[in-house]
Structures are given as C-alpha cells and as structure tokens.
Amino acid sequence: MSKLGSSDNPLKVAIVGAGPSGFYAADALINSEYKVEVNVIEKLCAPYGLVRTGVAPDHPLIKKSIEKLYKVNVIKVNTLLSKDRFKTVRGKIAKKSGYKKAIITLKEGQSIDIAAGI
C-alpha cells in the first residue's frame, strides 16, 4: 500500500463551512507537502459564509484563497461598512449588529458559479 498523502493515495478531507476558516483550512491543505483532495461542505445555498456578509473581506488571505479555490483572478476587493441598527421588538430594544460587505472584482470574462460549490 502506498504512503498516505502521496499521489497514489491522497488524503481526502472534508471541511465543514465555506466561511473564512474554511478558506484558511483549504488553503493550508492545498499548500501542504501532501497530496490532498479537499471538499468544502456548506449548509447555505452559497459559499463564503461570513465573507459573503463581510467579516474580514479585506484580508489578503481571503483574496488569495478565492483565487486558488476557484481559479480566478481577483482584481480588487471593495468593502462597505453598515452601522449597528436598533429597533423595538415586543417592547424591548433589539440591536442588529453592523457588518462589512465585500464586493469582489474579477478579471474580465471570469465568474464564480456559487451554485456549483467548490
């Protein structure tokens, strides 16, 4: 039997969650010295998790991970910041936390099919 992590016997890894941590884990595994088959599992209908709603979208590792996982060229990442909002619900004040939103610009002619998964 060939060595685990070789091209004949690659490691098969499932990462649960396609948010920032999932991207970091996938990137680390892909860049490791071992041959690895990575499957990212996401319960939502689209990947990116908190990246989609904007947590740490300006982090360079997110850009790099998106480029590697989807084999696209990210030209730039713009972020928008939403402030906290308050409203009264059943007589109590409820707070909806603000968020960052990332708008990712890809090289012309490229796209990411978020319905297809990673």
pLDDT tens-digit series, residues 57-79: 446 766 777 787 788 898 877 66
24: three-class secondary structure by DSSP: helix
Fold (CATH) for 11-106: Alpha-Beta Plaits (3.30.70)
Query: In the chain, where are the structural domains located?
Result: 11-106
Instruction: Looking at the chain, list the stretches that DSSP marks H as alpha helix, in order from N- to C-terminal side.
Output: 20-30, 50-53, 60-70
Structure tokens at 59: 């982090």
pLDDT of 43 reads 72
Residues in the chain: 118
pLDDT of 59 reads 61
Tens of pLDDT, residues 92-105: 888 877 776 667 78
